[in-house]
Amino acid sequence: MNRPQLYSKYSDLQKTDNTYVLEKFLDTSRFKDEDRILDVGCGDGNFSVECLIPKLPQNFKNFVACDVSEKMLDFARTKYFLPKIKFVALDIGAEEIPEEFENSFNHIYSFYTMHWVRRQRKAFKNIYKMLAPGGDILFTFLANSSLYDIYQNMSKHERWSQHSVKEYISPYHNLKHPEKRLEKLLQDIGFEVKVCKLVTRSFLFPSMEIFKNTITAVNPIVQKLHPDEVEEYNAGFLNEMKGMKSVIIENVNNNGEKTIREIHQIFILVATKPQNKKSDTSKLE
């Protein structure tokens, strides 16, 4: 993902789901004085700085917001300059994480990011490693979305078949009981899982234009196309969408435009690292 300007304007779906999760589950975080906090996949920084941080007790020591995309980080750094907040480049699925982050964070949050990560086991091992003993995590990310089915259907058309979509589909999409898979993965790593559930969410896009821009902000294929091809791709995308049960083109809005309701499933994940466990990193590799 590398379109921070577009994402910052067209991410109401993500923000609505994230806010729902924060309101219901932020009280699972056990705050103390001088907590160190990590946000994995901060993107344009908007949700971290304008929604998450104001809800935290303000006596935290520092807040590290990380992302794999330099473009996202540059955008966030330019927009938000705050003394206790640092934006850092980090691939959560990387082979190595910085040594100074090991056993370091009392709370790790992540919003709408983990579905982008192929190396789930490695990423959650890294998260476990970075968590201080007794620390907790609160994550939400996509499990199932009809948008993934549309990506897949589009790639079956000869016209677009050279653009592989496999690496952009949530690893949990269309699995039977994905929440059980995720819970088992975390338990194997050593987490104590408090909540691991799927929630069905729906979002109403107020116009086709907003829907298209929201998709374009995150669609990795559109980002690879020549500008001349985008319109044709989008037309095909909208055509595929019409067959989906969980994308409903609804009645008209006040301007006489169509509205689009999209239904998807998110994970809500709350887990802790046991108090007596420093990461025995050798066992994890």
- C-beta closer to ligand SAM: residue 65 or 247: 65
Provide Rg for the chain, Cα atoms.
19
CA atoms within 13 A on the CB side of 276: 0
- C-beta closer to ligand SAM: residue 69 or 104: 69
Q: Which residues pair with 105 in a beta bridge?
A: 131
CA atoms within 13 A on the CB side of 54: 7
CB of 6 to ligand SAM, least distance (A): 12
Please report how the helices 178-189 and 120-130 are oriented relative to each other, as an axis angle in degrees rounded to 10: 50
CB of 44 to ligand SAM, least distance (A): 7
Q: Are strands 105-111 and 85-89 parallel, antiparallel or unpaired?
A: unpaired
14 binds ligand SAM (CB under 6 A): yes
Please give the torsion angle defined by the CA atoms of residues 96, 37, 64 and 61, in that order, rounded to the nearest 10 degrees.
Answer: -120
Within 23-82, the residues that bind ligand SAM by CB under 6 A are 40-43, 47, 67-69, 72
Between 102 and 131, how does the x/- string for binding to ligand SAM read (CB under 6 A)? ---------xxx--xx--------------
Residue of minimal CB distance from ligand SAM? 43
Q: How far apart are CA 239 and CA 208, in angstroms?
A: 13
CB of 80 to ligand SAM, least distance (A): 13
Query: What is the token pair recorded at 91?
Result: 């691939």
CA atoms within 13 A on the CB side of 173: 23
Of 10, 18, 165, 173, the residue at the interface with ligand SAM (CB under 6 A) is: 18
Of 37, 76, 80, 93, the residue at the interface with ligand SAM (CB under 6 A) is: 93
- Site residues (vs ligand SAM, CB under 6 A): 1, 11, 14, 18, 40-43, 47, 67-69, 72, 91-93, 111-113, 116-117, 218
